[in-house]
Amino acid sequence: MNQLEMSIDELLALPVSVDLVTAGRCFGIGRTKAFELAQRGEFPCRVIRVGVRYRVPRSALIGALGIDPAAAQERAGQSGDAA
């Protein structure tokens, strides 16, 4: 797996919101391109501007990637049970 790619398990383990670089990894987008897209309002999902920083809700990532939220929740629960 490429450094820019993120597995579904990594995605589901993310906190409620993440920085733009981490969000970009979910889409296979590098740092520079992620910031360019966010500044133009063209990032593939909702981005929240907090002062000079960008935050991306995990729920927006899951939705933009076409992952069923219920299936994601179930999978996340199964991962937690295995630990």
Give the whole-angstrom CA distance, residue 54 versus residue 40.
13
Question: Residue 83's pLDDT is what?
Answer: 39
Query: In the chain, where are the structural domains located?
Result: 8-74
The CA-to-CA distance between both ends of the chain, in Å, stands at 23
pLDDT, tens only, 14-37: 999 999 999 999 999 999 999 999
Question: Residue 7's pLDDT is what?
Answer: 83
39-45 contacts, C-beta under 8 A, 24 or more apart: none
pTM (predicted TM-score): 0.79
Decide: 27 and 42 in contact? Cβ < 8 Å: no
Give the whole-angstrom CA distance, residue 71 versus residue 49.
29
